[in-house]
Amino acid sequence: QVIKCKAAVMWEANKPFSIEEVEVAPPKAHEVRIKIVATGICRSDDHVITGALVMPFPIILGHEAAGVVESVGQGVTSVKPGDKVIPLFVPQCGECNSCLSSKGNLCSKNDIGTAAGLMPDGTTRFTCKGKAIHHFIGTSTFTEYTVVHETAVAKIDSAAPLEKVCLIGCGFSTGYGAAVCTAKVEPGSTCAIFGLGGVGLSVVMGCKAAGASRIIAIDINSDKFAKAKELGATDCVNPKDFKKPIHEVLIEMTGQGVDYSFEVIGRTETMTAALACCQYNYGVSVIVGVPPAAQKITFDPMLLFSGRTWKGSVFGGWKSKDSVPKLVADYMKKKFVLDPLITHTLPFTKINEGFDLLRTGK
């Protein structure tokens, strides 16, 4: 049965979302149709609107959500109607090199790099005003109903509060995992986090959970500092307070540079600063923010020759289908908090106001 429902459609770049009635086709074989209960707003969605992340239009954005399975296609075994689930923008097919390796998590079935904006079979499940609407990285959660592939959905604890655990679909897991999974921060180490949005604050939480002794939080918006301290930051630094480059400030603060640095903004200048501020020989710098399209980095190769490691992390390095249910279970056992990451709760129709709050750093 086709479902008619409300969705926030992005018809073209740099325009507001348009709340439209869309038709959502039933799930095909190995697909799942989900009623979305709660969805978060992430900077990566905004990157599509501004063109920093190139995707085809028209499109239904959104990728951080939780909901309930409405129906399943033929051959689906891992979830059934009524199950509480989180859609996964990094799928886990269990068969590709990354899925089979203990070292990787970026399943080859992902639609982040290719940006086709379609289901794995090359078609879409959304139509609006007679036009086909693209999917976003296999999830598309800014809609009352969405369709995802079975490899891109995780069944979670039926007692979990969906309006909180939706953050495990992206922001929290991405930041927390960058620290504990990708960087493998050790007890007693020194960390620097560039960018204190929801993901950056989750990196702070991950560094604290891993036992870091010094956690330096960096942002040009000092309003972010109180929350960063509440979640474990030991020092807060605003680059605007200094005449010299921020990496020099951090090296002075720590003597040799930090053991681990994280760029959680998606700007090339801060990526190079994060690399330069980590220890010259064994420092590790992790790129967490989505890099802008069509921009290149120029840096002194001596920064790497001396031994530093520069790496990226997508979805915090977690194998999605395996890890999301465990992270939800950990949340239910109060192993970490999510409430401080939620600043506003808005009705779906106010999605444009939500993006305004994001863009103004609120």
pLDDT in tens, 264-315: 999 999 999 999 999 999 999 999 999 888 889 999 999 999 999 999 999 9
300 with 344, same domain: the answer is no
Domain CATH number, residue 278: 3.40.50.720
**pLDDT of amino acid 182:** 98
196 with 231, same domain: the answer is yes
30 with 132, same domain: the answer is yes
329 with 272, same domain: the answer is no
Token duo for residue 321: 């289908």
Compute the average pLDDT of residues 45-74. 96
Is 170 part of the annotated catalytic residue set?
yes
Range of 302's domain? 183-312
225 with 345, same domain: the answer is no
Token duo for residue 328: 């939800």
Beta strands in 153-249 (DSSP E): 153-155, 190-194, 214-218, 235-237
- How many folded domains does the chain comprise? 2
321 with 301, same domain: the answer is no
pLDDT in tens, 82-136: 999 999 999 999 999 999 999 999 999 999 888 899 999 999 999 999 999 999 9
In-domain check, residue 178: no
Predicted structure pTM score:
0.96
In-domain check, residue 177: no
**pLDDT of amino acid 114:** 84
339 with 263, same domain: the answer is no
Is 42 part of the annotated catalytic residue set?
yes
Domain CATH number, residue 119: 3.90.180.10
**pLDDT of amino acid 129:** 96
352 with 287, same domain: the answer is no
In-domain check, residue 199: yes
**pLDDT of amino acid 295:** 87
The CA-CA-CA angle for residues 203, 204, 208, to 5°, reads 115
101 with 136, same domain: the answer is yes
Compute the average pLDDT of residues 33-62. 95
Is 128 part of the annotated catalytic residue set?
no
Query: Helices 246-254 and 268-276 meet at what angle, rounded to 10?
Result: 20
Is pLDDT above 90 for 360?
A: yes
Please give the Cα distance from 279 to 168 (Å, whole number). Answer: 31
Catalytic residue among 93, 99, 107, 170: 170
Beta strands in 246-304 (DSSP E): 260-263, 284-287
Q: Which of 130, 81, 83, 88 is nearest to 105 (CA)?
A: 88
Quote the percentage of the chain above a pLDDT of 70.
100
Among the ranges given (105-119, 188-202, 226-240), the one the predictor scored with the smallest mean pLDDT: 105-119
Token duo for residue 92: 């886990």
**pLDDT of amino acid 293:** 85
Catalytic residue among 30, 47, 277, 320: 47
301 with 321, same domain: the answer is no
Domain boundary among 294, 312, 330: 312
Beta strands in 117-237 (DSSP E): 126-128, 131-133, 145-149, 153-155, 190-194, 214-218, 235-237
**pLDDT of amino acid 294:** 80
Is 63 part of the annotated catalytic residue set?
yes
Please give the Cα distance from 41 to 354 (Å, whole number). Answer: 7
**pLDDT of amino acid 117:** 94
Is 30 part of the annotated catalytic residue set?
no
**pLDDT of amino acid 292:** 86
Would you call 189 exposed, middle or buried from its count of C-beta atoms within 10 A (0-12, 13-18, 19+)?
A: buried
Please give the Cα distance from 263 to 325 (Å, whole number). Answer: 27
